[in-house]
Amino acid sequence: MKKLFILCCVFVMAIACKEEPKDYVTLSGIITDKNSDSLVVKNRTYSKAIQVSEDGSFKDTLKVETGLYLLYDGNESTLVFLKNGFDLKVTIDTKAFGESVKYTGTGSEHSNFLAEKALLQEKLLNVDVLSKLNMAGLEAEIDDIKDELTKFYNSNPQIDSSIINKGKNEIDPMLNFYKRYLSKSIALKEELPKGSPSPIFKNYENIDGTTTSLSDLKGKYVYIDVWATWCGPCIAEIPYLKALEKEYHNKNIQFVSLSIDDGRGYKAGTKEESFARAKEGWKKMIAEKELGGIQILAPNGWQSQFVQDYKIKGIPRFLLIDPNGNIVTPDAPRPSSASIKELFVELSI
């Protein structure tokens, strides 16, 4: 009887001590060299800021719908899979944001899978490498990438099926996008091959009141930024371009910014008045942004012969020409890309 009583007590205590399922996620961790004083967890229907201490530690609870969320630190982000009941701990070093993301705790395997997937896609979809292929090579490489991504998903049956199914369904649309984008770049390089004479511009108006021709720049490499004052992505490249120009000052390279401002965004009674206003806007931005290098204005915007010859359909576009006036690449890496310095090193600039 006494034994039965003890067993009943143990059973009651076990029931009492049994933890109720949590209706929230616990998210904590450490972020090294934080970009912001708070992290933001969000998707289309949910957003919550989590305060980060001076030492980079943070902890909070979140009531969520099961699914994928973005975890932001400033402009950097990583995908995380959240489900009420999870207790996740994450460590991040912002000096190598994507490479450093690591989760531990309940439910961590799903978010670690997402971090690993992001690194795999970044490795496989290296635009600088893929753009050096010809069309046949690109087709074959895209097929190989599809096989490798499919294999990656199939080898992780423990991961939530919603993640796996969503990822598999995104493979073809994603690869088709890259294929279309890269096909244009490859076709451009086939039409304007490396080593062939560059199209030229003659007597384009310079910000200093003189004129500049491409022939004036022979003897040095010429890195040309084709841009416009109304182009947001162009303006976003300006800080990187200024830093690049500063680093390569007095080197064997000239930096040229070629504006195709032609009146777009400047309302006036006539086309000539629009162009005149655009020209003033061009001068104003050069002064405000303290732009260096050689600043020139294409006389007919998109219709300028140099722009047409280089088959420029969108901006920003960067060109690199060698000291003899021949094409190095008609679609050079942007200043914000690490690849541009790698190219300069390769050319001993």
> How far is residue 39's CA from residue 24's CA, in Å, rounded to a whole number?
18
Q: Where in the sequence of the chain do the CATH 3.40.30.10 domains occur?
A: 204-346
The phi and psi torsions of 177 (rounded to 5 degrees) equal -60, -50
pLDDT level of residue 69 (50, 70, 90 thresholds): very high
* pLDDT for res 125: 95
- Predicted pLDDT at 20: 66
CATH 2.60.40.1120 spans which residues of the chain? Answer: 16-108
**pLDDT single digits (tens) 11-26:** 444 444 455 678 999 9
User: pLDDT digit string (tens) for 288-299?
Assistant: 999 999 999 999
pLDDT-derived band at 265 (thresholds 50, 70, 90) equals low
**What SS3 state is found at 253?**
strand
Bridge partners of 104, per DSSP, are: 89
* Average pLDDT over every residue of 148-155: 98
Question: Taking the model in full, what pTM does it have?
Answer: 0.70
298 and 259 Cβ atoms separated by less than 8 Å: yes
CA 67, CA 89: separation in Å to the nearest integer? Answer: 17
Can you name the residues that pair with 50 across neighbouring β-strands? Answer: 39
Q: What is the arithmetic mean of pLDDT over 125-130?
A: 89
Question: Which tokens belong to 77?
Answer: 């982000």
Closest among 127, 136, 181, 78 to 340, alpha carbons compared: 127
Task: Answer whether 72's CB lies under 8 Å from 39's CB.
Answer: yes
From edge to edge, which strands make up the β-sheet containing 317-321?
211-212, 204-206, 294-297, 253-259, 221-227, 317-321, 327-329
pLDDT of 131 reads 86
CATH topology of domain 16-108: Immunoglobulin-like (2.60.40)
Encoded tokens for 37: 């004083």
Calpha distance 163→146 (Å, rounded): 17
Domain covering 204-346, topology? Glutaredoxin (3.40.30)
